[in-house]
Amino acid sequence: MTTDPATALPDLSELEAGAAVVRLPMTVKFRGVTEREALLLRGPEGWGEFSPFLEYGDAEASRWLASGIEAAWQGFPEPLRARVPVNATVPAVPAGQVRDVLAAFGPVQAVKVKVAERGQALADDIARVAAVRDALPEADLRVDANAGWTVPEAVEALTRLGEFSLEYAEQPVPGINGLAEVRALLEARGTPVKIAADEAVRKAEDPLRVARARAADLIVVKAAPLGGVRRALRIVQEAGLPAVVSSALDTSVGLAAGVALAAALPSLPHACGLGTGALLAHDVVRPPLVPERGSLPADSLGERATPDPELLERFAAPEDRRGWWLERLRRCHAVLAATRV
């Protein structure tokens, strides 16, 4: 994977000169973290974000760097729509906390609910999804297992959760073969739950294999893990499946890339998972990119994704963490330099 050929890879010194490392508190625990760290890049076209999760290796993380470089050194394609519809995201919280989480998103027409959390049971998932359905009876409802189930567990869970009229289930099991098996078994049972591929697209060496294997009804795409907006657009076009654009718990700087991707897609049949800015207690941009009546603006994204200097200073990561991120930046830059064609 390389950066877009239209943009030369900036020198490492350029990246380091415009780098800011922040640590932002969250409103609830998400993916096991209560604070989100990110390295932000300032370039000639604005700002980009480099924030792969801490456990990711350099090869995978380098795609996130390519995305941040694209945003800051190349900018985004022209939008095809003025606003992008988004879903609320409910982490794996107890059912009693669901309404409080939803309140942060304001009015929405779609909700994604995290399920299959390690240490929790199917009963917890059912209670959480039921609480969302009770709070928003008319909303499009989708669940995301982050590949946390086995095939038998997924079939049982989605048969039970299908009673809540799910729009789709995102990555219920690991791998493409597992997705295809779950999809076939649900169809044989007459359970009308569509399957969406996420990790099987963004973590795969060949992100189009999901479509060729008929393992999913739609794909979930994220700008950063796929190497940027333009590469993600090509993947969606070649896959030939409906796409949902999602985020990776980004700051508003990173969310702008997701909004740009969603705004540039010729077809956008589903609300996107780009409302996760509402899960941050603080952001680096004023005003932050958070949902307004279920959507995000797609115009002037470069301006909307410009950090406030006071917020960068206020939420600057400790010096040891800044050093950790700069070293990661150096390693991932070397990966891109070695693989660029």
CATH of the domain at 47: 3.30.390.10
Predicted confidence at residue 206, as pLDDT, reads 81
| pLDDT of 138 above 80 | yes
Position 4 in a domain: no
237 and 191 together in one domain? yes
- Contacts of residue 279, defined as CB under 8 A and 6 or more positions apart, other chains included, come to 26, 27, 28, 30, 89, 91, 104, 249
- Do residue 24 and residue 121 come from a single domain? no
Question: Can 29 be counted among the known catalytic residues?
Answer: no
Among candidate residues 29, 112, 114, 194, the one labeled active-site is 114
Q: What tokens does 146 get?
A: 């982050």
Give me the mean pLDDT over the 176-197 stretch: 95
Q: What pLDDT does 129 receive? A: 98
Q: Are residues 250 and 332 in the same domain?
A: no
Residues 240, 195, single domain; the answer is yes
d(CA 258, CA 79): 12
Output the CA–CA distances (angstroms, integers) from residue 126 to 16, 122, 153, in the order listed: 47, 6, 13
pLDDT at 1: 41
User: Domain range spanning residue 54?
Assistant: 12-75+309-339
Residue 129 shares a structural domain with residue 266: yes
The answer on 277 and 133 residing in a single domain is yes
Peptide bond into 287 cis (omega under 30): yes
Q: Is 7 contained in some domain?
A: no
Structural domain contains residue 133: yes
Determine contact, residues 6/75, Cβ cutoff 8 Å.
Answer: no
- Average pLDDT rounded to a whole number, residues 241-254: 95
Could you tell me if 91 and 125 are in contact, meaning their C-beta atoms sit under 8 angstroms apart? Answer: no
Q: Is 144 labelled a binding residue?
A: yes
Q: What's the pLDDT tens digit per position in 23-59?
A: 999 998 877 789 999 999 999 999 999 999 999 999 9
Q: Does residue 214 share a domain with residue 181?
A: yes
Say if residue 40 is in the same domain as residue 125: no
CATH number of domain containing 170: 3.20.20.120
Q: Evaluate if residue 142 carries a pLDDT over 60.
A: yes
- Asked whether the beta carbons of 243 and 218 are under 8 A apart, the reply is yes
Residue 125 in 3-state DSSP? helix
Q: Are 284 and 31 in contact (CB under 8 A)?
A: no
Average pLDDT over the chain reads 94
- Condensed to tens digits (0 to 9), the pLDDT of residues 214-224 reads 899 999 999 99
Domain count, the chain: 2
pLDDT band at residue 3 under the 50/70/90 scheme: very low
Does 193 lie in the same domain as 88? yes
pTM (whole model) above 0.75: yes
Task: Answer yes or no: 203 catalytic.
Answer: no
- Residue listed under structure tokens 């299908």: 162
CA pair distance 247, 264, nearest whole angstrom: 16
Say if residue 27 is exposed, middle or buried (CB neighbours under 10 Å; 0-12, 13-18, 19+): middle
Longest dimension (CA), the chain: 58
Higher pLDDT, 1 or 205: 205
Which amino acid, residue 106? G
Q: Mean pLDDT, to the nearest integer, of 4-25?
A: 88
Dump strand ranges (E) for 225-321.
243-245, 295-297
The answer to whether residue 49 sits within a structural domain is: yes
Angle at 235 between CA 234 and CA 236, to 5 degrees: 90
pLDDT score for 2? 41
Pair (16, 68) in one structural domain: yes
Q: Does a structural domain hold residue 114? A: yes
CA distance 310 to 326: 21
pLDDT of 314-324, one tens digit each?
Answer: 999 999 999 99
What string of DSSP letters covers 271-307? -BB--GGGGBSS-SSSS----BTTEEE-SSHHHHTPP
Q: Is 198 annotated as a binding residue?
A: yes
d(CA 265, CA 271): 13
Domain co-membership, 126 together with 244: yes
Q: What residue has token string 């990119």?
A: 289
- What span, in angstroms and rounded, lies between the C-alpha atoms of 250 and 289? 10
What's the pLDDT band for 7 if we cut at 50, 70, 90? low
19 C-beta neighbours (distance < 10 Å), count: 17
Q: What is the pLDDT of residue 8?
A: 83
**39 plus 151 within the same structural domain:** no
Tokens of 96: 């009693």
